[in-house]
Amino acid sequence: MLTNSQTVLLSGPDVGDLEQDYVLAALRSGWIAPVGPDLDAFEREIADRVGVPHAVGLNSGTAALHLALLGVGAGPGDLVVVPTLTFVATANAVVYTGATPVFADCDPATGNLDPDLLASLLAELHAAGTPARAVLTVDLYGSCADYERIRPLCDGYGIPLVEDAAEALGATHRGRAAGSFGRAAAFSFNGNKLLTTSGGGMLLTDDAELAGRARHLAGQARLPAEHYEHAELGYNYRLSNLLAALGRAQLCRLDEMVERRRAVHDAYAKIFAHVDGVRLLADADPAANRWLTAVVVDPDRAGWAAGELAAHLAARNVETRPIFKPMHLQPLYADARASLSGAAERLFRDGLVLPGGSALTGEQVRRVLDEIAEFLDGRR
Protein backbone atom coordinates (compact mmCIF):
# COMPACT_ATOMS: atom_id res chain seq x y z
CA MET A 1 0.00 0.00 0.00
CA LEU A 2 1.32 3.44 -0.91
CA THR A 3 0.68 5.95 1.84
CA ASN A 4 -0.26 9.55 1.27
CA SER A 5 -2.23 12.26 3.06
CA GLN A 6 -5.44 10.37 2.29
CA THR A 7 -4.20 7.26 4.06
CA VAL A 8 -5.94 6.25 7.27
CA LEU A 9 -3.10 5.05 9.52
CA LEU A 10 -3.34 2.14 11.91
CA SER A 11 -2.28 4.20 14.93
CA GLY A 12 -0.77 7.61 14.25
CA PRO A 13 0.43 9.99 16.95
CA ASP A 14 -2.15 12.34 18.44
CA VAL A 15 -0.36 15.58 19.32
CA GLY A 16 -1.47 19.22 19.25
CA ASP A 17 -1.10 22.61 20.92
CA LEU A 18 -0.69 21.33 24.46
CA GLU A 19 2.23 19.10 23.42
CA GLN A 20 3.86 22.02 21.57
CA ASP A 21 3.52 24.22 24.65
CA TYR A 22 5.09 21.66 26.99
CA VAL A 23 8.01 20.84 24.67
CA LEU A 24 8.73 24.52 23.96
CA ALA A 25 8.63 25.33 27.67
CA ALA A 26 11.11 22.52 28.37
CA LEU A 27 13.36 23.73 25.58
CA ARG A 28 13.26 27.30 26.87
CA SER A 29 13.89 26.15 30.45
CA GLY A 30 17.41 25.15 29.43
CA TRP A 31 16.97 21.56 30.68
CA ILE A 32 18.05 20.01 27.38
CA ALA A 33 20.71 17.70 28.78
CA PRO A 34 19.58 14.22 29.59
CA VAL A 35 17.66 14.53 32.83
CA GLY A 36 15.71 17.41 34.38
CA PRO A 37 12.54 18.50 36.16
CA ASP A 38 10.13 17.32 33.44
CA LEU A 39 11.56 13.81 33.66
CA ASP A 40 11.17 13.78 37.45
CA ALA A 41 7.63 15.10 37.16
CA PHE A 42 6.68 12.66 34.39
CA GLU A 43 7.91 9.73 36.48
CA ARG A 44 5.93 10.98 39.48
CA GLU A 45 2.77 11.55 37.43
CA ILE A 46 2.82 8.12 35.76
CA ALA A 47 3.53 6.41 39.10
CA ASP A 48 0.60 8.25 40.70
CA ARG A 49 -1.68 7.45 37.81
CA VAL A 50 -0.87 3.73 37.99
CA GLY A 51 -0.78 3.63 41.79
CA VAL A 52 2.76 2.23 42.06
CA PRO A 53 5.44 3.99 44.17
CA HIS A 54 8.42 3.95 41.79
CA ALA A 55 8.81 4.81 38.10
CA VAL A 56 11.98 5.13 36.00
CA GLY A 57 11.76 6.99 32.67
CA LEU A 58 13.66 5.20 29.89
CA ASN A 59 14.28 5.66 26.20
CA SER A 60 12.13 2.69 25.12
CA GLY A 61 9.71 0.07 26.34
CA THR A 62 12.28 -2.53 25.34
CA ALA A 63 14.82 -0.94 27.72
CA ALA A 64 12.19 -1.02 30.48
CA LEU A 65 11.60 -4.74 29.89
CA HIS A 66 15.34 -5.43 29.85
CA LEU A 67 15.92 -3.65 33.18
CA ALA A 68 12.79 -5.20 34.73
CA LEU A 69 14.06 -8.68 33.85
CA LEU A 70 17.54 -7.88 35.20
CA GLY A 71 15.77 -6.59 38.30
CA VAL A 72 14.14 -9.96 38.99
CA GLY A 73 17.48 -11.69 38.48
CA ALA A 74 17.09 -13.14 34.98
CA GLY A 75 20.45 -14.13 33.49
CA PRO A 76 22.37 -16.81 31.65
CA GLY A 77 21.02 -20.33 32.22
CA ASP A 78 17.57 -19.09 33.28
CA LEU A 79 14.24 -19.84 31.61
CA VAL A 80 11.60 -17.11 31.35
CA VAL A 81 8.04 -17.89 30.27
CA VAL A 82 6.82 -15.51 27.53
CA PRO A 83 3.53 -15.52 25.59
CA THR A 84 4.14 -16.53 21.99
CA LEU A 85 1.59 -13.97 20.77
CA THR A 86 3.38 -10.66 21.21
CA PHE A 87 5.70 -8.14 19.62
CA VAL A 88 9.27 -9.41 19.30
CA ALA A 89 10.63 -6.91 21.87
CA THR A 90 9.08 -8.97 24.70
CA ALA A 91 11.13 -12.05 23.83
CA ASN A 92 14.25 -10.12 22.81
CA ALA A 93 14.45 -8.47 26.24
CA VAL A 94 14.73 -11.94 27.78
CA VAL A 95 17.60 -12.81 25.42
CA TYR A 96 19.40 -9.52 26.25
CA THR A 97 19.74 -10.74 29.85
CA GLY A 98 21.27 -14.01 28.69
CA ALA A 99 18.17 -15.98 29.73
CA THR A 100 16.14 -18.17 27.36
CA PRO A 101 12.46 -17.61 26.52
CA VAL A 102 10.02 -20.51 26.76
CA PHE A 103 6.91 -19.64 24.79
CA ALA A 104 3.37 -20.36 25.89
CA ASP A 105 0.17 -20.14 23.86
CA CYS A 106 -2.80 -17.84 24.40
CA ASP A 107 -6.44 -17.80 25.34
CA PRO A 108 -8.23 -17.56 21.96
CA ALA A 109 -10.81 -15.10 23.35
CA THR A 110 -8.26 -12.45 24.33
CA GLY A 111 -4.92 -13.40 22.78
CA ASN A 112 -3.38 -13.18 26.27
CA LEU A 113 -1.34 -15.87 28.07
CA ASP A 114 -3.47 -19.00 28.63
CA PRO A 115 -3.52 -19.63 32.43
CA ASP A 116 -4.18 -23.37 32.03
CA LEU A 117 -1.18 -23.80 29.76
CA LEU A 118 0.90 -21.66 32.13
CA ALA A 119 -0.11 -23.88 35.06
CA SER A 120 1.03 -27.06 33.32
CA LEU A 121 4.20 -25.42 31.96
CA LEU A 122 5.27 -24.13 35.40
CA ALA A 123 4.57 -27.56 36.92
CA GLU A 124 6.56 -29.25 34.17
CA LEU A 125 9.55 -26.92 34.54
CA HIS A 126 9.43 -27.31 38.32
CA ALA A 127 9.32 -31.11 38.11
CA ALA A 128 12.26 -31.11 35.67
CA GLY A 129 14.37 -29.19 38.19
CA THR A 130 14.53 -26.15 35.89
CA PRO A 131 11.92 -23.81 37.39
CA ALA A 132 11.16 -20.60 35.48
CA ARG A 133 13.14 -17.58 36.71
CA ALA A 134 10.24 -15.28 35.80
CA VAL A 135 6.92 -15.13 34.01
CA LEU A 136 6.56 -12.26 31.56
CA THR A 137 2.92 -11.46 30.72
CA VAL A 138 1.71 -9.16 27.93
CA ASP A 139 -1.45 -7.04 28.03
CA LEU A 140 -2.15 -7.52 24.34
CA TYR A 141 -3.62 -4.57 22.43
CA GLY A 142 -4.41 -2.94 25.78
CA SER A 143 -6.43 -5.71 27.44
CA CYS A 144 -4.92 -7.00 30.68
CA ALA A 145 -3.92 -10.64 31.04
CA ASP A 146 -5.90 -12.82 33.46
CA TYR A 147 -4.09 -11.78 36.65
CA GLU A 148 -6.73 -13.38 38.92
CA ARG A 149 -5.36 -16.71 37.80
CA ILE A 150 -1.80 -15.90 36.75
CA ARG A 151 -0.65 -14.17 39.96
CA PRO A 152 -1.53 -17.02 42.35
CA LEU A 153 0.15 -19.48 39.95
CA CYS A 154 3.39 -17.49 40.04
CA ASP A 155 3.14 -16.89 43.80
CA GLY A 156 2.65 -20.62 44.35
CA TYR A 157 6.13 -21.27 42.98
CA GLY A 158 7.66 -18.01 44.26
CA ILE A 159 8.30 -16.96 40.66
CA PRO A 160 8.33 -13.20 40.02
CA LEU A 161 5.89 -11.80 37.48
CA VAL A 162 6.98 -9.08 35.05
CA GLU A 163 4.22 -7.25 33.18
CA ASP A 164 4.77 -6.07 29.61
CA ALA A 165 2.16 -3.30 29.72
CA ALA A 166 3.71 -1.58 26.67
CA GLU A 167 0.30 -1.40 24.98
CA ALA A 168 -1.87 -1.01 28.06
CA LEU A 169 -1.42 2.41 29.67
CA GLY A 170 -4.88 3.60 30.74
CA ALA A 171 -6.37 0.09 30.91
CA THR A 172 -7.53 -1.43 34.18
CA HIS A 173 -8.34 -4.93 35.37
CA ARG A 174 -10.86 -5.35 38.21
CA GLY A 175 -10.23 -1.78 39.27
CA ARG A 176 -6.42 -1.96 39.22
CA ALA A 177 -4.33 -0.17 36.64
CA ALA A 178 -2.28 -1.93 33.99
CA GLY A 179 1.35 -1.62 35.01
CA SER A 180 0.65 -2.52 38.65
CA PHE A 181 0.44 -6.31 38.47
CA GLY A 182 4.01 -7.55 38.42
CA ARG A 183 7.11 -7.18 40.59
CA ALA A 184 7.96 -4.77 37.77
CA ALA A 185 6.15 -3.55 34.65
CA ALA A 186 7.10 -1.82 31.41
CA PHE A 187 5.26 0.85 29.43
CA SER A 188 6.19 1.95 25.92
CA PHE A 189 5.77 5.52 24.64
CA ASN A 190 6.78 4.63 21.10
CA GLY A 191 5.26 6.68 18.26
CA ASN A 192 2.43 4.24 17.58
CA LYS A 193 1.43 3.67 21.20
CA LEU A 194 -1.54 5.27 22.92
CA LEU A 195 0.61 7.83 24.72
CA THR A 196 3.77 8.81 22.86
CA THR A 197 6.98 10.66 23.66
CA SER A 198 8.00 9.92 20.04
CA GLY A 199 10.18 7.23 21.58
CA GLY A 200 10.36 6.25 25.22
CA GLY A 201 9.31 3.91 27.95
CA MET A 202 9.02 3.52 31.70
CA LEU A 203 9.66 0.88 34.32
CA LEU A 204 7.22 0.69 37.24
CA THR A 205 7.72 -1.21 40.46
CA ASP A 206 6.83 -1.16 44.13
CA ASP A 207 10.34 -2.41 44.93
CA ALA A 208 12.54 0.59 45.84
CA GLU A 209 15.74 -1.41 45.44
CA LEU A 210 14.78 -2.67 41.97
CA ALA A 211 13.91 0.90 40.92
CA GLY A 212 17.21 2.25 42.21
CA ARG A 213 19.15 -0.45 40.43
CA ALA A 214 17.30 0.17 37.15
CA ARG A 215 18.04 3.88 37.44
CA HIS A 216 21.72 3.14 38.07
CA LEU A 217 22.07 0.70 35.15
CA ALA A 218 20.20 3.09 32.82
CA GLY A 219 22.88 5.74 33.39
CA GLN A 220 25.83 3.56 32.31
CA ALA A 221 26.10 2.35 35.92
CA ARG A 222 28.16 5.42 36.68
CA LEU A 223 29.27 5.64 40.31
CA PRO A 224 29.34 9.01 42.07
CA ALA A 225 32.91 10.13 41.34
CA GLU A 226 34.35 13.05 39.38
CA HIS A 227 36.36 10.78 37.14
CA TYR A 228 33.61 8.45 35.79
CA GLU A 229 33.88 5.32 37.91
CA HIS A 230 32.17 2.10 36.74
CA ALA A 231 32.06 -1.22 38.58
CA GLU A 232 29.54 -3.05 36.34
CA LEU A 233 28.05 -3.06 32.87
CA GLY A 234 25.47 -0.33 32.37
CA TYR A 235 23.35 1.02 29.53
CA ASN A 236 22.45 4.37 28.03
CA TYR A 237 18.72 3.98 28.61
CA ARG A 238 17.46 7.23 30.20
CA LEU A 239 14.55 9.21 28.75
CA SER A 240 15.44 12.77 27.79
CA ASN A 241 13.90 15.68 29.64
CA LEU A 242 12.48 17.15 26.42
CA LEU A 243 10.65 13.94 25.58
CA ALA A 244 9.39 13.65 29.13
CA ALA A 245 7.79 17.09 28.65
CA LEU A 246 5.96 15.72 25.61
CA GLY A 247 4.85 12.77 27.72
CA ARG A 248 3.50 15.05 30.45
CA ALA A 249 1.31 16.88 27.94
CA GLN A 250 0.09 13.56 26.54
CA LEU A 251 -0.66 12.29 30.04
CA CYS A 252 -2.99 15.29 30.61
CA ARG A 253 -4.96 13.97 27.64
CA LEU A 254 -4.77 10.26 28.46
CA ASP A 255 -8.42 9.84 29.50
CA GLU A 256 -9.63 11.71 26.45
CA MET A 257 -7.42 9.58 24.17
CA VAL A 258 -8.60 6.31 25.75
CA GLU A 259 -12.21 7.44 25.44
CA ARG A 260 -11.70 8.15 21.76
CA ARG A 261 -10.11 4.73 21.13
CA ARG A 262 -12.98 3.07 22.95
CA ALA A 263 -15.51 4.92 20.80
CA VAL A 264 -13.77 3.68 17.63
CA HIS A 265 -13.74 0.14 19.04
CA ASP A 266 -17.46 0.37 19.83
CA ALA A 267 -18.20 1.50 16.29
CA TYR A 268 -16.40 -1.59 14.97
CA ALA A 269 -18.27 -3.78 17.46
CA LYS A 270 -21.54 -2.40 16.16
CA ILE A 271 -20.81 -2.92 12.49
CA PHE A 272 -19.66 -6.52 13.02
CA ALA A 273 -22.27 -7.40 15.67
CA HIS A 274 -24.55 -9.30 13.32
CA VAL A 275 -21.95 -10.67 10.96
CA ASP A 276 -21.78 -14.44 11.28
CA GLY A 277 -18.31 -15.84 12.00
CA VAL A 278 -16.73 -12.51 13.02
CA ARG A 279 -15.76 -11.46 16.56
CA LEU A 280 -13.53 -8.83 18.13
CA LEU A 281 -10.51 -9.90 20.18
CA ALA A 282 -11.02 -9.36 23.94
CA ASP A 283 -14.46 -7.94 23.23
CA ALA A 284 -15.71 -8.91 26.69
CA ASP A 285 -13.16 -6.66 28.45
CA PRO A 286 -14.76 -3.24 29.02
CA ALA A 287 -11.67 -1.98 30.92
CA ALA A 288 -9.27 -2.41 27.98
CA ASN A 289 -7.79 0.85 26.68
CA ARG A 290 -8.60 -0.29 23.11
CA TRP A 291 -5.17 0.71 21.84
CA LEU A 292 -6.07 -1.29 18.77
CA THR A 293 -9.08 -3.33 17.71
CA ALA A 294 -8.60 -6.72 16.07
CA VAL A 295 -11.33 -8.66 14.27
CA VAL A 296 -11.13 -12.43 14.11
CA VAL A 297 -12.79 -14.06 11.12
CA ASP A 298 -13.84 -17.70 10.84
CA PRO A 299 -13.74 -18.02 7.05
CA ASP A 300 -16.00 -21.11 6.97
CA ARG A 301 -18.82 -19.31 8.75
CA ALA A 302 -18.25 -15.82 7.36
CA GLY A 303 -17.71 -16.94 3.76
CA TRP A 304 -14.65 -14.66 3.49
CA ALA A 305 -11.20 -14.43 5.02
CA ALA A 306 -9.52 -11.65 7.00
CA GLY A 307 -7.04 -11.17 4.16
CA GLU A 308 -9.86 -10.25 1.77
CA LEU A 309 -11.02 -7.46 4.04
CA ALA A 310 -7.39 -6.31 4.36
CA ALA A 311 -7.02 -6.17 0.57
CA HIS A 312 -10.32 -4.29 0.19
CA LEU A 313 -9.23 -1.66 2.72
CA ALA A 314 -5.66 -1.39 1.38
CA ALA A 315 -7.04 -0.60 -2.08
CA ARG A 316 -8.91 2.29 -0.44
CA ASN A 317 -5.90 3.64 1.50
CA VAL A 318 -6.89 2.22 4.86
CA GLU A 319 -4.01 0.65 6.75
CA THR A 320 -4.58 -2.66 8.55
CA ARG A 321 -2.20 -5.30 9.88
CA PRO A 322 -2.33 -8.99 10.73
CA ILE A 323 -2.35 -9.92 14.42
CA PHE A 324 1.27 -10.47 15.58
CA LYS A 325 3.04 -13.43 14.03
CA PRO A 326 3.67 -15.72 17.02
CA MET A 327 7.24 -15.86 18.30
CA HIS A 328 7.54 -19.65 17.80
CA LEU A 329 6.93 -19.09 14.06
CA GLN A 330 9.65 -16.43 13.79
CA PRO A 331 12.92 -17.60 12.21
CA LEU A 332 14.70 -15.91 15.14
CA TYR A 333 12.98 -18.23 17.63
CA ALA A 334 12.51 -21.33 15.47
CA ASP A 335 14.51 -23.46 17.92
CA ALA A 336 12.90 -22.16 21.11
CA ARG A 337 10.86 -24.37 23.38
CA ALA A 338 7.11 -23.71 23.16
CA SER A 339 3.98 -24.98 24.85
CA LEU A 340 1.27 -24.67 22.20
CA SER A 341 -2.48 -25.14 21.73
CA GLY A 342 -2.72 -23.69 18.21
CA ALA A 343 -4.66 -20.62 19.41
CA ALA A 344 -1.98 -18.03 18.53
CA GLU A 345 -1.46 -19.53 15.07
CA ARG A 346 -5.19 -19.36 14.39
CA LEU A 347 -5.37 -15.72 15.53
CA PHE A 348 -2.39 -14.90 13.29
CA ARG A 349 -4.16 -16.57 10.34
CA ASP A 350 -7.69 -15.25 10.98
CA GLY A 351 -7.11 -11.86 12.63
CA LEU A 352 -6.90 -8.35 11.31
CA VAL A 353 -5.99 -5.21 13.25
CA LEU A 354 -8.04 -2.15 12.23
CA PRO A 355 -7.15 1.55 12.49
CA GLY A 356 -7.69 2.77 16.04
CA GLY A 357 -5.70 5.95 16.59
CA SER A 358 -7.20 8.73 18.68
CA ALA A 359 -5.90 11.12 16.00
CA LEU A 360 -8.44 9.70 13.53
CA THR A 361 -10.97 12.37 12.56
CA GLY A 362 -14.69 11.64 12.68
CA GLU A 363 -14.59 11.85 8.88
CA GLN A 364 -11.85 9.17 8.69
CA VAL A 365 -13.69 6.84 11.06
CA ARG A 366 -16.85 7.19 8.95
CA ARG A 367 -14.83 6.46 5.83
CA VAL A 368 -13.38 3.25 7.30
CA LEU A 369 -16.82 2.14 8.52
CA ASP A 370 -18.35 2.86 5.09
CA GLU A 371 -15.63 0.84 3.37
CA ILE A 372 -16.20 -2.07 5.74
CA ALA A 373 -19.98 -1.86 5.20
CA GLU A 374 -19.44 -1.90 1.44
CA PHE A 375 -17.19 -4.97 1.77
CA LEU A 376 -19.75 -6.77 3.94
CA ASP A 377 -22.60 -5.92 1.52
CA GLY A 378 -20.59 -7.42 -1.31
CA ARG A 379 -20.18 -10.70 0.60
CA ARG A 380 -23.79 -11.22 1.62
Ligand X SMILES: *Cc1c(COP(=O)(O)O)cnc(C)c1O
CB closer to ligand X, 91 vs 125: 91
Which residue, 11 or 100, has its beta carbon nearer to ligand X?
Answer: 11
Q: Which stretch binds ligand X (CB under 6 A): 38-46, 84-92, 221-229, 310-318?
A: 84-92
Q: Which of 11, 137, 188, 339 binds ligand X (CB under 6 A)?
A: 188
CB of 361: closest distance to ligand X in angstroms? 25
138 binds ligand X (CB under 6 A): yes
Q: Which of 11, 84, 90, 293 binds ligand X (CB under 6 A)?
A: 90
Among 38, 43, 105, 167, binds ligand X (CB under 6 A): 167
Q: Is 87 in the site for ligand X (CB under 6 A)?
A: yes
Query: Virtual CA dihedral for 89, 134, 323, 205, nearest 10 degrees?
Result: -70
> Which listed residue (110, 190, 197, 358) binds ligand X by CB under 6 A?
190
Stretch of 15-23, 160-168, 233-241, 363-371 contacting ligand X, by CB under 6 A: 160-168
Question: Applying CB under 6 A, which of residues 42, 46, 57, 60 lies at the interface with ligand X?
Answer: 60
Is residue 179 within 8 A of residue 187, CB to CB? The reply is yes
Looking at 19, 43, 164, 319, which residue binds ligand X (CB under 6 A)?
A: 164
In whole angstroms, what is the distance from residue 192 CA to residue 312 CA?
23
Largest CA distance in the chain: 73
Do the beta carbons of residue 125 and residue 79 sit within 8 Å? yes
> Among residues 201 and 351, whose Cβ is nearest to ligand X?
201
Shortest Cβ 47–ligand X spacing (Å)? 18
Task: Check binding of 339 to ligand X (CB under 6 A).
Answer: no
Given the complex with ligand X, which of 165 and 372 has the nearer CB atom? 165
Task: Using the minimum distance from each CB to ligand X, give the nearer residue, 61 or 247.
Answer: 61
Q: Are the beta carbons of 250 and 93 closer than 8 angstroms? A: no
Judged by CB under 6 A, does residue 83 bind ligand X? no
Question: In this chain, which stretch among 28-36, 95-103, 163-171, 311-319 interacts with ligand X, using CB under 6 A?
Answer: 163-171
Nearer to ligand X, 14 or 167 (CB): 167
Nearer to ligand X, 166 or 184 (CB): 166
Nearer to ligand X, 153 or 166 (CB): 166
Of residues 13-32, those binding ligand X (CB under 6 A) = none
**4-12, 60-68, 145-153, 232-240 -> range binding ligand X (CB under 6 A):** 60-68
Q: Does 166 bind ligand X (CB under 6 A)?
A: yes
**Closer residue to ligand X, CB minimum distance, 166 or 327:** 166
Residues 225-254 binding ligand X (CB under 6 A) are: none
* Selected range binding ligand X among 54-62, 94-102, 173-181, 281-289, rule: CB under 6 A: 54-62
What is the 3-state secondary structure of the chain?
Answer: CCCCCCCECCCCCCCCHHHHHHHHHHHHHCCCCCCCHHHHHHHHHHHHHHCCCEEEEECCHHHHHHHHHHHCCCCCCCEEEEECCCCHHHHHHHHHCCCEEEEECECCCCCCECHHHHHHHHHHHHHCCCCCCEEEEECHHHCCCCHHHHHHHHHHHCCCEEEECCCCCCCEECCEECCCCCCEEEEECCCCCCCCCCCCEEEEECCHHHHHHHHHHHECCEECCCCCEECCCCCECECCHHHHHHHHHHHHCHHHHHHHHHHHHHHHHHHHCCCCCEEECCCCCCCCCCCCEEEEECHHHHCCCHHHHHHHHHCCCECCECCCCCHHHCHHHCCCCEECCCHHHHHHHHEEEECCCCCCCHHHHHHHHHHHHHHHHHHC
The alpha carbon torsion through 359, 364, 370, 373 (nearest 10 deg) reads -20
Between 138 and 246, CB nearer to ligand X: 138
Enumerate binding residues for ligand X (CB under 6 A).
60-62, 86-87, 89-90, 138, 164, 166-167, 188, 190, 201
